[in-house]
């Protein structure tokens, strides 16, 4: 049996699947369950990209430890953006202030990538006015 993989090509981030509507209901915590390749990360990334158009937002994508941008969801965001019709609205940048991040050029929303337990100056503790946090691979955090 062949496992379906997320389709990154021609993604319309405004197209919402019926089950995705629950992601936009007011709730302080949302938890997604599912096996490998079930589309959790792809759908959360799409939802956060959609939310970046709703005014100026600060979105932080976290892991327990953030050692390498290559093992973060940054690559997933870039892949979705590059294959979407909205690619002209996003810029992947690296600056001293924010590190590697993604900027929505229409709204000035910013998507940052941080480690929860990192103790350097680039940690999540140094981020001001966070609107949304996505904790990826958070099984060992309490």
Query: Mean pLDDT, the chain, as a whole number?
Result: 80
The residue with tokens 């955090």 is 141
pTM across the whole model: 0.81
Burial 83-114 (b: 16+ CB within 10 A, else e): ebebeebbeeeeeeebeebbbbeeeebbbbbb
Cα-based angle 72, 73, 76 (whole degrees, multiple of 5): 135
Per-residue pLDDT of the chain (142 residues; tens, 9 = 90+): 555 555 545 556 667 778 778 888 888 888 888 778 777 888 889 999 999 999 999 999 987 766 655 557 888 999 999 988 888 999 998 888 777 899 999 999 999 988 777 655 556 667 778 899 888 876 666 5
Per the DSSP assignment, residues forming a β-bridge with 102 are 92, 111
Which DSSP string corresponds to 40-81?
A: HHHHHHHHHHHHTTSSS-EEEEEESS---GGGSTHHHHHHHH
């Amino acid at each position: 049996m062949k496992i379906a993989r997320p389709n990154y090509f021609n993604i319309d981030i405004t197209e919402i699947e019926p089950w995705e509507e629950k992601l936009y209901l007011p709730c302080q915590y949302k938890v997604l369950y599912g096996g490998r390749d079930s589309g959790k990360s792809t759908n959360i990334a799409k939802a956060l990209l959609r939310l970046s158009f709703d005014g100026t937002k600060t979105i932080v994508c976290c892991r327990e430890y953030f050692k390498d941008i290559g093992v973060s969801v940054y690559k997933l965001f870039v892949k979705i953006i590059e294959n979407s019709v909205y690619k002209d609205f996003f810029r992947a940048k690296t600056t001293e202030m924010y590190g590697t991040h993604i900027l929505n050029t229409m709204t000035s929303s910013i998507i940052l990538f941080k480690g929860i337990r990192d103790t350097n100056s680039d940690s999540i503790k140094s981020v001001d006015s966070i609107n949304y946090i996505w904790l990826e691979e958070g099984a060992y955090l309490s």
